[in-house]
Chain A
Amino acid sequence: MMKQFVDVFVEEASELIDQLEASLLVLESSPSDSLAIDSVFRVMHTLKGNAKMFGFERMGELTHQLENIYDKIRSEHNIADNKVLSTTLSVVDHLRNILIDPSLKIESNKLKQKELEEKIMGIVSNKSLINSIAPTGVASQVISFDRSNAISTYYISFYPDTDLMRNGTNPSFILEDIAALGKSKINAHKKDIPAFDQLDPTGCYTYWEIYLATNKSVEEIEEVFLFVQDSAKINICRVADEDLLRNNVFLKKIEEDRQQQVLINIDELQQYVNHLLNIIRENSVDENSTTEITEQKISILKVSSDKIDLLMNLVSELVTTQARLSNISEGSNLPGLSTVSEIVEKLSRQLRDNVFSISLIPVNQLFMRFQRMVRDLSMELGKSVDFNVEGGETELDKTLIETLYDPIMHILRNCLDHGIETIEDRLKHGKPGKGKITLKAYYSGAHVIIKISDDGAGLKYERIKQKAIDKGLIGVDESIDEKELANLLFSAGFSTAKKVTDVSGRGVGMDIVKKKIEEIRGVVNIESSQGSGTSITIRLPLTLSIIDGLQIKVNDTSYIIQVTSVHKIKVVDTEQIRNCYNDLIIIDGEQIQIVNIRKEFNYNDYQEIKTHVVVVDFEGTKIGIVTDQIVGQLQAVIKPLGKFYKEQEYISGASILGDGSVALILDIKKLIYQSINLKQK
């Protein structure tokens, strides 16, 4: 099985498992919800079928048994009781584990599998489902090699029903398949054809007698007739353990039979053959048997990440070179060049997408894993929480995703434990009883931002300050603003929870979170306003990624901005920009705040008469980005600017253009944010 398909399966299976979990959670609150039961059943069914197909036998077994349980519940309009639900939920956890460890190499998985199988059997016997449950697992596929390689001769008669062809069966294919098994002689016979007015034009009025010399078994021959077994009379009979179709005497007999339309009597045939064989054996010749070499194909490859990195670099170089080729072809009259260039473009795009997808996975796979934890924990803490996930389709490198699990887990635990207040407290403060936690991912230039926000109590700055003073992190009289205070939370050994719970508040937490995120070259930030919530932002670099960008020019330098948020592009008189009041200009009758890149970067005013303004959406408001000129849209391979520019705030990377020059990737959101913030101050 090819790795790519196993990957799709694993991805799909984890989605199905997430879906399963969601349905189970519904069932937990309303055990008779028939839609949820249906959904559980269907997921189990799909998992069962697919798991076995992709070599996840253990998963297949568990889901097979559960499918039966839920089928029973469904058909008998029963409810899924607690025991069934809790067992299924444990299975859900276990399924996730064995998705990574399908052959149960890890001891604990092996034990868990056994435990769960027993639990399920317990439920099955309890529910007297035993009769309707098939034995565990399907018979494993046994592949047997017929080593003998010996050829036998068969006589086959195939007498189809008249309406054989009505289901889309074509009898000539069957005859071809038989012929493909070895050497054959086929005699066709006409059935009694009915009177013309009763004749069905789609009916089958022929039957066949076949002599077949083959090394295949009877079962393999029967296989050919698999789909027509119950719409035809089929008789397969081995008449000799050798190839009679090499024998001219036998061939002559077959031919005579055919011409005279003789119907074969199997006993007579066998007698004839036995007689013939005696004669042949007297002149027998030894045959050298050849050994078949079966090749084992390698279908799953483990590739070192270095090789993938190299491949990625080569591919991005190819993409850049291809852009150059497009440039050349546009300016050239050479016949055929544009076609070749287009094909190369298409191929390199496909290649690029494929290579990139090797290591990119949507963050949803990570996010879904938190649903359950949030639910369990909020119940445990007696809090009520709406957990929202946004931007799950944002893709990140697999290794980054794995590293992020623990930090995000910890942040979410903190949100639940310290952030969200108890229902009573919330109501007391005029908030809805149900808290809200949002986990959100989005692209920002060459970065992916993951934001975890809650509408809880927010940081208690006074308490943090006191604690920081107690711990000697700051002096008693030191003036420190809220932002600095908030970031003290990331210092080692800092915890302010009054009551130490086993959830968080063990004092190792936020510092580890920070460390982990920094390990993957990310930056973590916390913002909070007392009383109305906290949000933690994790900013992760994409060392190599592709964006759909808009190429612009400012001060003779090419920049690329991400186009996801571009609203429109307008040509405006430079004069209007120069003379605008409070950075507001009118575009299409609408007053729009502008951010002038030249101004932000301390360049001189633009000297041309016309300037280009890109109107983008920024957190719901329209902002006009003032550029010199818009060059066009492009796909840009993002390259890091490197350590020498680590202080760079607004440039998140660079990209190489078709003409070989370098364009800078402008973090437009950050630029707008800073520009507007500064103005307000």
Chain B
Amino acid sequence: MSKTILIVDDSESIREIMNYTLENAEYNVLVGNDGEHAQSFLDGTPINLIITDLNMPKKNGIELIKEIRQKEDYKYTPILVLTTESQVSKKQEAKEAGATGWIVKPFVTDKLLSVVQKVIR
């Protein structure tokens, strides 16, 4: 059975390229336009991985991660955050909130897949 990945980003181009790449790699992809929208998917639907942007207009990534970690269903679900450049402080903040790892923008699609494969199989 293919794994389900929830991607959360307010930028359409990033959403599209992630969606395209992940769907091509035969993942099931759920797409959230921002933190608030993403929550509508977190209703017990089995999700194997969450990839979220940090900077979003409605509910930022850090808040989202904290809320995800509160939910019994998603307590241990791997979460990857999208960070621009190597902002050490942001990565650290995200890890403390409960993120599993990070993907540094700009990324190439192969890199995205390799990072995803770091956390789910």
Contact = CB atoms under 8 A, between A and B. Distances in A.
Given A49-B84, A50-B14, A165 B55 contact: no
B16 A167 contact: no
Interface string A559-578: 00000000000000000000
B38 to A, nearest CB: 16
- Taking chain A's interface residues, is the majority helix, strand, or loop, or is none over half, making it mixed? helix
A227 B16 contact: no
A188 interface: no
A442 interface: no
Contacts of B99: 167
B61 interface: no
A429 B120 CA distance: 71
Interface residues of A, number: 33
B79 A168 contact: yes
Given A8-B16, A52-B106, A202 B76 contact: yes
Given A42-B55, A173-B118, A49 B105 contact: yes
A303 interface: no
A479 B106 CA distance: 68
A170 interface: yes
Contacts of B14: 49-50, 53
Contacts of A166: 76
B73 to A, nearest CB: 13
B16 A5 contact: yes
Given A5-B13, A48-B84, A54-B13, A169 B100 contact: yes
A167 to B, nearest CB: 5
Given A46-B11, A49-B105, A167 B57 contact: no
A138 interface: yes
B115 to A, nearest CB: 8
Contact of A226 (B57, B101, B105, B107): B101
Interface centre among A13, A138, A177 (most CB of B within 10 A): A138
Given A8-B16, A53-B14, A168 B119 contact: yes
Given A49-B11, A52-B105, A134-B85, 4 more contacts: A5-B16, A5-B20, A53-B105, A177-B118
12 contacts: A8-B16, A12-B12, A13-B13, A45-B84, A46-B55, A49-B11, A170-B78, A170-B119, A173-B119, A202-B76, A227-B118, A227-B119
A8 B10 contact: no
A578 B10 CA distance: 58
A173 B99 CA distance: 16
Interface in B58-114: 76-79, 84-86, 95, 98-102, 105-108
A535 B74 CA distance: 58
Contacts of B42: none
Interface in A310-359: none
A519 interface: no
Contacts of B12: 8, 12
A137 to B, nearest CB: 10
Nearest to A60: B106
Given A49-B84, A52-B105, A12 B119 contact: no
Contact of A5 (B17, B77, B95): B17
A176 interface: yes
A227 B84 contact: no
B39 to A, nearest CB: 18
Interface string A18-59: 000000000000000000000000100110111011100000
Nearest to B55: A45
A227 B121 contact: no
Interface residues of B, number: 32
A168 B100 contact: yes
10 cross-chain pairs, A with B, having the tightest CB-CB distances, nearest first:
A53-B106, A168-B78, A227-B101, A168-B100, A49-B84, A9-B13, A8-B13, A52-B106, A5-B17, A49-B105
A167 B76 CA distance: 6
Interface in A554-595: none
Contact of A168 (B11, B77, B117): B77
Contacts of A177: 117-118
A48 B78 CA distance: 27
A168 B101 CA distance: 9
B77 to A, nearest CB: 6
Interface centre among B57, B84, B100 (most CB of A within 10 A): B84
Interface centre among A165, A166, A168, A177 (most CB of B within 10 A): A168
Given A12-B12, A50-B11, A173 B76 contact: no
Interface in A153-212: 165-170, 173-174, 176-177, 202
A168 B105 contact: no
Interface string B20-43: 100000000000000000000000
A41 to B, nearest CB: 9
A214 B57 CA distance: 45
B76 to A, nearest CB: 5
A53 B9 CA distance: 15
A177 B120 CA distance: 11
Contacts of B105: 49-50, 52-53
Contacts of A54: 13, 106
Contacts of A12: 11-13
B31 to A, nearest CB: 14
Nearest to A54: B13
B13 A176 contact: no
Given A8-B12, A49-B105, A176-B121, A168 B76 contact: yes
B95 A167 contact: yes
Contacts of A167: 78-79, 95, 98-100
Contacts of B102: 227
Contacts of A9: 13
Contacts of B20: 5
Nearest to A49: B84
Interface centre among B57, B85, B117, B120 (most CB of A within 10 A): B85
A360 B38 CA distance: 30
Contacts of A138: 85-86
Contacts of B118: 173-174, 177, 224, 226-227
Contacts of A134: 85
A173 B55 CA distance: 29
Contacts of B108: 1
Contacts of A226: 101, 118
Nearest to B77: A168
B100 A173 contact: no
Nearest to A46: B11
Nearest to A168: B78
Interface string A464-484: 000000000000000000000
